[in-house]
Structure 1
Amino acid sequence: MAGPILVVDDDNFFRQLASDMLSRKGYLVVPAANAAQALEAATHETFDIVITDLVMPELDGFGLTTKLRERDPEQEVILVTQRTDVKGSAMALSAGVAVVLAKPVDESDLLLAVERAMERVQLRRERSKLQTENLEFARYQNLHQRCLELLSQPDLEWLQERVAAELAAVCDAQSAALWIADDRGHLILRAYRGLLDKQFLAERMSPDGPLGNRLREAMPWIARDERSPVLYVPFVIGGEIMGLAQLSDPVAGDFRSEHVRYAKILGDSAAVGVKNGRRMLALQRLGLRDRDTAAYNLSYFTDYASKEIYKARRYGRTFSLLTFSVDNLPLVRMRLGVPDAKLAVRGIIKAFGRIVRDSDVIAKASEQEFYLLLPETDFFGAMMFVRRALDAVRAEPEAQEVESRLPLALVGGASTFPKDGEDFDELVHRCRRRMDERRCSLQRKLMLDTLPFWDEVDLLLGNASSPKLPVEESAEPSRRGKVSDVLFDELQSEIARELMRDPSSRGLLYVGGPEIRADLPIAQGLESASPEMASRIYLLGRRGDLDSHPALTPVFLEGDERMARHEFILWMSETASYALIQRRGLGATWGFHSSDTAVVDGLITRLQVEYDLQPY
């Protein structure tokens, strides 16, 4: 259908004449008395053809044509003039005029010029439509190619990264975050990119409630906040929620309807890809597990660790690697037989399996060595896990059955990325070094694990006539003997300064003595500490003049004579382990102090059991 025609002439007679000629042929005509009116009309409406006189006041036909073609370079213009010179016609054509007609204008000439101009307009429209259709076809072809790539790769780790990147690309978003459903249906943050700050992203989301209902509709939606519009893309297949993508910071400032369409197509393919990836992962796990223990084999674990290292580097995350060894398993096999050796290994793996998270991975590296990978776990968390793992093994019935006849020499070590290394071999090497340190530790040499807290204290403190401690040069230093009267206070002050320097560092500190007082150096040093301090600090003793403190937790122990005779500091953090136990006497203070991590950990464990204290 032809569009309107704008007729511009300061001569009312010609303006009316031309309008009548065109109207009789069914054209819609809009008259304008001068260039200013014409430009105003062109601001509000698009004209297929403009018929203008050359000579007009203020702005002539050439000037009007120039301004119109600045807005639309393909604007059809027919110029009417009384000038018939060649120079004028050449100027008109150079200005972009399609046809020049001389006044008085013959009706047939005008209609022919308009008809041909309309043909050119229609041809341009059809060309533009074809270009748009071809462009849209190319976009969908590209989009479906992206979908095929997502469906062709069953590697779930690769898929998570690729889906976030592809959605951001097709929706012109600068930022993207991706949550994938775990085996329990919870949405776990797996990838993010662009301008997003991880601390503002939920690590885990429940698909229950309004969010789950919205996701099951399987349609992307746009939410708007003060900062930026956000496009949410659910991944749903057969009513099962597979994931959710969040796209933000659109390049153009907002998301358009085509972005929602593209996101829907890509999101549906991503849902299928995620489901296929989970199936493939399940099959891999079945084929890569040890038959006796169901732990993964070393090949799978190494590959998984490599991917975890890549993610940790990219997103600035941390994770921990743990190694455990049953040092006397060959002896168990020789004395008790192969079935009991296998029973012990199964019991150990079962014990580990009871305390790990869904994201943790257990592998059997050899007959007597096991690896665990703990994502998003710092070194302090890894040390706490080693303790829990050893306790879990002692409580496991299958392991107990073997230990009743021959104790298992199970030792563990931990390392953390990137603190202890940035590749798998470095981390394993660091774990083994820490296992060696535990093998050389007093904790193992004196078999302290089975002693109650105060019996262990008495053994470690000894007295002046006690034999020397069996310490090797390669072990962490442990000493007993006379100590300075001010060591207990100085050590508290130093720990307080360290905690104030880095309040975000995790640690565990127990300070025990006859009385919990406000003038203890640890209490004074942490007076201005935030209640949000990451380390947990406990004071043990009978009630004194300290009832509450922003950073300390008092544990009142009334009538405990052993506590009244001793003072101790047990300190374990990501960077240090230290124990000081002392008895004050007439003229001298007798003490034991050690930086042996296994000894410090053992003392803390026994103390928690002795006084029913909550583990970290």
Structure 2
Amino acid sequence: MSAPASGGPVSRGRLRVLAVASDEGVLNLFRTVFGEAGDEIRVHDNLAAGVADAQNSPPDVAFVDVTMDQRAALALVHHVKAVAADAEVFALARPEALDAASQAVSLGATGVIVGPPSGDELLSAASAVRSRRAGAQLRAQLQGDNDALRRALGYVARLATLADRTDGDDVGKAVVELFREASGLPQVLLFLPSHEGADELRLSASLQAPPSAPAFCDEMVLMRFAGQAGLEVVPLLAGRLSMGHLLLGGSRSLEPRLRQVVQSLAAQATTTLLLAAERERAGRGTLKDGATSAYTFAYFVDLAGREIDKARRHGRRFALATIAMGEPDGQEPLVRAVDVADTVLAMVRDSDVLARVDEREFYLLLPETGGFGAQSCRRRVLAMGGPGGKLRGVSMGVATFPHDGADLLRLLRMAKRRADASRDSVVSRLRLQRQTLAELTDALLWDVDIAQGKLPQSSEVPRALELPMVDVLSLVTAALQQATRGGATAVVAAQRDGPGLAAAVRAFPGNNREGFQSHFVDVRHRDGCEDIEALAIVAEHGAYALLGRVDHGKFHGLHAADPLFADLLVQRLGELAGVRLMD
């Protein structure tokens, strides 16, 4: 007869008790005494069942009648100690079988209970076991706490040495590596304020960051990301000062003892990061990229954050630009980074800030600059990118506040996307830079990829148009309406006989508003241009170009929101007019 073992974890102080005896009365006593004590009690009246139970679920304490089965139960004493070295075994024996009890002690039994056991004897034996186990647990805990404290003190000493550094990014990387060691987790992400006093957070350093980790975000977005990625959030707090958050994760969760170490280190890390940030601010005048005359990315982020705050408070505009070198397929850039930096700095104002992001990319901050000024800067830079130019192979994209975004992350993403679009522009792909207006029109109309719609789906990519002229005029009117919503707009159109694009611009209701400029170029008597319709719109928040030929009232051409394409049309129409239409 046996009682099955109860499932589930055993709580602290609760013993797993195994009793093996042939007397049913003794087994009932075990059930009563240990059941009322809240322990897990398993009883068996045959030796084979007891052996199997001990094998499947080793007990904390076992009571064995060593006289069972002609003293074969002595083997159970040895078996319990073999499967659970920390288990304590008490031998049950009648007075006439004390020699068997003596053998049990030699086999590892803790003690002997002579005669039919009483409840007090059983509780006393269990109490001694409980006390010894509690003492062992306390000693192990104290040893573990001591080891954790010793490790924590070592980490604190390492953090203290970081406070002397002036490079905030360097400190961030060191902090991330330290917390990886302290936590034992492979994923560590450090999010700090994007600039002084900002609510926006920036991913400053990381190890094995998930691909979905945001580069910039607010705290709510960060908490949502951490939950989705299964990462534990450790706030960086020192008193009332907050310095951001650490995110930790991996294949397992943080152990409780290590969590205490991590939380203790977080306060020290906060102080270290604050000191490093203060030193970085104090030495900001020397925060230049070591290989070029540009500033560091950290300095750029801080200044850009301040510019955003200023623009929000005072309703001002500013622009950001991404300047990329070379191709995305790993080809070496055609120019050196130092030459790019020197050339760009010679072309921009003293108040503009150029920062190096990595080996192939720069960011340019243009304070107090709207879309027109940013596009003018872009044209000047890209004008140096032709054959033999100082900026060969360079692409550039701009974004303006608040048209393209109200936070740094959105602005940088938009500028980066436009730089990539500039690099992949049809102007570069078909090498249209040196072609006349008639030649580039035919080159585009005969391009198979454009005609068959094989190019990627994007507003910057040309799309073929085969429409009656009256529908094209409606399309131009809609484009003008969209452009003038952002403020200043400049339009350049080819002049032809009859109801063409120039006539649509003249008839546009908003053409007399402040900030609207229009230029018309007569192409009727130019070789190869008699039937060409061309239009370029440059607005605060983008550009639009439309080009094609008209045959019996039907337009055959293409259009795209490609600034490089619009620039080329303006340049070619200006050459036909003999004037410079845009800076």
TM-score (norm: length of structure 1): 0.49
C-alpha distance 161-562 of structure 1, shift in aligned 2 (>3 A) = same
- Matched residue SS, 1:353: coil
Whether 1:32 aligns to 2:48 is no
Contact residue 238 and residue 268 of structure 2 kept, 8 A: no
CA–CA separation in structure 1 for the residues paired with 2:258 and 2:341: 54
AA of the residue aligned to 1:231: E
AA of the residue aligned to 1:269: Q
After TM superposition, list the pairs within 5 Å mapping 1:329-368 onto structure 2.
351=349, 353-354=351-352, 356=353, 360-361=354-355
Whether 1:191 aligns to 2:116 is no
What's 2:483 paired with? none
Contact residue 517 and residue 546 of structure 1 kept, 8 A: no
C-alpha distance 325-378 of structure 1, shift in aligned 2 (>3 A) = closer
Whether 1:562 aligns to 2:517 is no
What's 2:183 paired with? 171
Whether 1:246 aligns to 2:257 is no
Whether 1:137 aligns to 2:153 is no
C-alpha distance 187-222 of structure 1, shift in aligned 2 (>3 A) = closer
CA–CA separation in structure 2 for the residues paired with 1:242 and 1:352: 32
Moved more, 134-143 or 185-194: 134-143
What's 2:425 paired with? 507
Contact residue 188 and residue 205 of structure 1 kept, 8 A: yes
After TM superposition, list the pairs within 5 Å mapping 1:371-520 onto structure 2.
373-375=356-358, 378=361, 435=390, 506-507=424-425, 509=427, 512-513=437-438, 520=445
Contact residue 191 and residue 203 of structure 2 kept, 8 A: yes
CA–CA separation in structure 1 for the residues paired with 2:40 and 2:379: 96
Whether 1:231 aligns to 2:232 is yes
After TM superposition, list the pairs within 5 Å mapping 1:14-413 onto structure 2.
32-34=43-45, 49-56=61-68, 61-62=73-74, 64-65=76-77, 68-69=80-81, 72-81=84-93, 93-94=106-107, 96-99=108-111, 120-121=132-133, 123-183=135-195, 185=198, 186-194=200-208, 196-197=210-211, 200-206=212-218, 210=220, 223-225=226-228, 228-236=229-237, 241-248=242-249, 250-252=250-252, 254-258=253-257, 260-286=259-285, 288=286, 301=293, 321=337, 323=339, 351=349, 353-354=351-352, 356=353, 360-361=354-355, 373-375=356-358, 378=361
CA–CA separation in structure 2 for the residues paired with 1:534 and 1:131: 65
- Matched residue SS, 1:173: coil
CA–CA separation in structure 1 for the residues paired with 2:463 and 2:128: 94
Contact residue 52 and residue 80 of structure 1 kept, 8 A: yes
- Matched residue SS, 2:339: strand
C-alpha distance 437-40 of structure 1, shift in aligned 2 (>3 A) = closer
Unaligned 5+ runs, structure 1: 215-220, 290-295, 328-344, 362-372, 396-409, 416-430, 439-501, 570-599
AA of the residue aligned to 1:520: L
CA–CA separation in structure 1 for the residues paired with 2:230 and 2:57: 32
What's 1:529 paired with? 454
Aligned-residue offset at 1:175: 1.9
Aligned-residue offset at 1:299: 8.6
CA–CA separation in structure 1 for the residues paired with 2:257 and 2:468: 70
Aligned-residue offset at 1:351: 0.6
AA of the residue aligned to 1:188: R
AA of the residue aligned to 1:323: D
C-alpha distance 182-51 of structure 1, shift in aligned 2 (>3 A) = same
C-alpha distance 196-72 of structure 1, shift in aligned 2 (>3 A) = same
AA of the residue aligned to 1:562: V
Contact residue 542 and residue 557 of structure 1 kept, 8 A: no
Unaligned 5+ runs, structure 2: 1-11, 301-324, 366-371, 394-419, 481-491, 497-520, 535-564
- Matched residue SS, 1:435: coil
Deviations along 1:143-197, one digit per CA (max 9) or x if unpaired, are: 4334434435443121111122223333332223333323362323332322622
C-alpha distance 178-348 of structure 1, shift in aligned 2 (>3 A) = same
CA–CA separation in structure 2 for the residues paired with 1:103 and 1:302: 91
CA–CA separation in structure 1 for the residues paired with 2:358 and 2:230: 32
CA–CA separation in structure 2 for the residues paired with 1:304 and 1:285: 10
Aligned-residue offset at 1:102: 6.3
C-alpha distance 130-527 of structure 1, shift in aligned 2 (>3 A) = same
What's 2:24 paired with? 12
Aligned-residue offset at 1:388: 8.2
Deviations along 1:536-565, one digit per CA (max 9) or x if unpaired, are: 55999998799699xxx9997452543853
C-alpha distance 349-263 of structure 1, shift in aligned 2 (>3 A) = farther
Aligned-residue offset at 1:135: 3.2
CA–CA separation in structure 2 for the residues paired with 1:76 and 1:138: 33
CA–CA separation in structure 1 for the residues paired with 2:447 and 2:57: 80
Contact residue 92 and residue 101 of structure 2 kept, 8 A: no
TM-score (norm: length of structure 2): 0.51
- Matched residue SS, 2:248: strand
AA of the residue aligned to 2:274: K
CA–CA separation in structure 1 for the residues paired with 2:122 and 2:64: 12
RMSD (Å), alpha carbons: 6.6
AA of the residue aligned to 2:527: R
Q: How many residues align?
A: 420
Q: Percent identity?
A: 14
Aligned-residue offset at 1:111: 9.8
What's 2:562 paired with? none
CA–CA separation in structure 1 for the residues paired with 2:41 and 2:341: 92
- Matched residue SS, 2:190: strand
CA–CA separation in structure 1 for the residues paired with 2:468 and 2:421: 27
C-alpha distance 159-607 of structure 1, shift in aligned 2 (>3 A) = farther
Contact residue 503 and residue 533 of structure 1 kept, 8 A: no
CA–CA separation in structure 1 for the residues paired with 2:235 and 2:118: 66
- Matched residue SS, 1:529: coil
Aligned-residue offset at 1:74: 0.7
CA–CA separation in structure 1 for the residues paired with 2:573 and 2:350: 21
Deviations along 1:354-411, one digit per CA (max 9) or x if unpaired, are: 3x4xxx43xxxxxxxxxxx3558659999xxxx989965999xxxxxxxxxxxxxx99
Deviations along 1:447-482, one digit per CA (max 9) or x if unpaired, are: xxxxxxxxxxxxxxxxxxxxxxxxxxxxxxxxxxxx
C-alpha distance 437-282 of structure 1, shift in aligned 2 (>3 A) = same
Contact residue 20 and residue 43 of structure 2 kept, 8 A: yes
- Matched residue SS, 2:454: coil
CA–CA separation in structure 2 for the residues paired with 1:284 and 1:98: 70
Contact residue 161 and residue 191 of structure 1 kept, 8 A: yes
Deviations along 1:76-135, one digit per CA (max 9) or x if unpaired, are: 1012346869798557634x3233566678999999987876775465344334323323
CA–CA separation in structure 1 for the residues paired with 2:221 and 2:248: 17
